Structure 1
Amino acid sequence: MANPMMHENIWFDKSKVESAERTYQEHRAKQVDGLVVQGVGLGIGMTVDSPELAARLGAVEKENAELRQVTADLQAAVSKLTARVNALEGGSSGAPKSTASAPPAASKQEEEEEDSDSDVDLFGDDDDEEDDSLAKMQAEKKAAQDAQKKTKKVVIAKSNIILDVKPWDDETDMAEIEKAVRTVQCDGLKWGASKLVPVGYGIKKLQITCVVEDDKVGTDLLEEEITKFEDLVQSVDIAAFNKV
């Protein structure tokens, strides 16, 4: 029995069927405001009904086209660069000996010019002048300070001290005590006026004034020196102490 499909002629008109299907899909896409995408290897058009998906597919196609253009530009640039490098290498290998020897001479001349330029100190003179000016200003300042120190009066700190020198009893000779006290002499000490002041029971004390330089004479030194006269002096007290 013969195959009934042999009497069907549709399979022998595949191209007509695909064309009809494509026309139908395009018509449908226009009706639904979609996008017909021609896929590689699909053979027929594919209809996208979603506008959002259609926009995304369109953006992808645009991006692919831009990437293809960038790739083509890069390939062209690489080709030009390769050709230029090959040309430079070919020119260097084929150049005559006289041309190859010229660059070293030029380089030597350039080195000599650079050496001569390096010997020129564009700022050396200015630096020397500034150093000289600074040294001169410092010398003038020091001279002025020295002159000021010489003319300035040196102030010596002094104090006025009143001492109370007490005897052992009323029989002690107060004139001998004063004479002994005034024998105490040292640099920065100057004795002044004195008087006898009654203490009681007929006893008197010697009250004597002195001016001392603070850096040279202290009250401890005065008390120590005066009490050495232990046969005459019982004690020494500071009655008054004032800065001069």
Structure 2
Amino acid sequence: MMSRKKRFYEGPQKVTERSHYSPLVSEIAKAREHIQNSLEKIDGVTLDDGLNSQLANRLTELESENKELTQILNSVLNRLSTIEAQLTLTNGESKKPEAKPAVVEKEDDDVDLFGSDSEEEGEEAARIREERLAAYAAKKAKKVQIIAKSNIILDVKPWDDETDLKVMETEIRKITQDGLLWGASKFVPVAFGIQKLSISCVVEDDKVSIDWLTEEIEKLEDFVQSVDIAAFNKI
């Protein structure tokens, strides 16, 4: 009885040393301690021939449980030893000094023969921007621009009935300018046998001024007495 007590008493101490490895070990230690306490209580009882058979059976069960717990404990300790060895090996490999990258000595000459990445990106961005601007300009040039124009009818009066209106009309049509297009004409009676020239023209507003046109016609002093605007319509 004392040998069993001693064996169970020594068992928890050994387990306690490794209890931090696993909760299972702690539970085993508690079980063994419980068994030890039961045995101590039994040691304090005087056994005689009239010992209850139930107590004897319980003692047998405890011895069997003790054997099983001892086997489990030994298996757990062996497993912990294996894990501890693996951890030691892993930690040893992780602590190996890392190879330091080779230090490239900086040359005294800082000239970049191939240009930096930022310079290449800047040139590429500039090229793309120029291409887009050129494409936009070409597209804008292809658009049909709306040109403001005016349709004008001028009444040109001669000095008298002896003025040759056909010659006067010919001289007027000799007045040319970019944006000026002469149209139809006719002779319209005024009074006392005198006729006037009614002539139409189309002008681009940005290129031809009406004041300039009337002044040019009035310069034909041998034929023209006055110029009036009979009609003025925007096209």
Q: Which fold has the larger relative contact order, with Cα–Cα distance below 8 Å and residues 6 or more apart in sequence?
A: 2
Place the TM-score, normalised by the shorter chain, in its bin: 0.3 to 0.5
TM-score relative to the length of structure 2: 0.45
